[in-house]
Amino acid sequence: KQEVTQIPAALSVPEGENLVLNCSFTDSAIYNLQWFRQDPGKGLTSLLLIQSSQREQTSGRLNASLDKSSGRSTLYIAASQPGDSATYLCAVGDQAGTALIFGKGTTLSVSS
Amino acid sequence: NAGVMQNPRHLVRRRGQEARLRCSPMKGHSHVYWYRQLPEEGLKFMVYLQKENIIDESGMPKERFSAEFPKEGPSILRIQQVVRGDSAAYFCASSPPGPGYEQYFGPGTRLTVT
């Protein structure tokens, strides 16, 4: 049974710092991996989707990498801003490419 | 292009009542997924539907919960005889036809059972 773990559970950094969020999964037979952002009391905003055949995806200050063989993904945020404060969720697409299996998230706080 | 729409955004039900949650997918999307986020827990997959078909309901509780996605109209997640443990945020996502596409999430319905 696929399990997704995100470390750390919470992270506080000063504005301007570069940071890395980690995601690990137990079964490497995944279809894809998606990173989301969730603000308190709100829905999920999709940040990046990486297909199983890809190694990384970039969008603006965000870069996500995928290493299927080791069961890991990282989300790199460059030059963090207070507006980046949110919970970041990693989700793995199962083998059929249907259900997403979520980690519990990393709650990021960026102070000005 | 409007995003995924869910209503109501907030729903309060007394124990034993029925809850109906609605989800309208993005235009052009024919696949709908329902997830539940319990307090202090991660999001859990419940059910995956296409128009008029349930494709995967492996995450649905065996009793009291049902889902449909009719030919016309929104997808409905129905919870009968709600209990306090059903209090959670329920999210709907949609994607284009085919596996592996990006899933786009709605704002969620927050169900409170009193």
Task: Please report the beta strands in A15-85, taking only residues with DSSP state E, as ranges in sequence order.
Answer: 19-25, 32-38, 44-51, 56-59, 62-67, 72-77
At A97, is the pLDDT very low, low, confident or very high (cuts 50, 70, 90)? low
A10-27 pLDDT tens trace:
999 999 999 999 999 999
Question: Do A98 and B99 lie within an 8 Å CB cutoff?
Answer: yes
Distance of CA B66 to the CA centre of its chain: 10
Lowest mean pLDDT among A60-74, A85-99, B65-79: A85-99
| Contact B63/A at CB under 8 A | no
The residue among A34 and A97 whose pLDDT is bigger is A34
Structure tokens at A65: 């990498």
* The pLDDT of residue B1 is above 60: no
B93-113 pLDDT tens trace:
999 887 778 899 999 999 999
Task: Please report the beta strands in B8-87, taking only residues with DSSP state E, as ranges in sequence order.
Answer: 10-13, 19-24, 31-37, 43-50, 53-56, 65-68, 75-79
CA distance A84 to A62: 11
Question: Do B106 and A89 lie within an 8 Å CB cutoff?
Answer: no
CA distance A4 to A91: 7
In the predicted model, what is the mean pLDDT of residues A68-87? 96
Q: Which pLDDT score, from 0 to 100, does residue A21 have?
A: 97
CA distance A93 to B39: 23
Q: How many A/B residue pairs have CB atoms within 8 Å?
A: 63
B12-71 pLDDT tens trace:
999 999 999 999 999 989 899 999 999 878 899 999 999 999 999 999 999 999 999 999
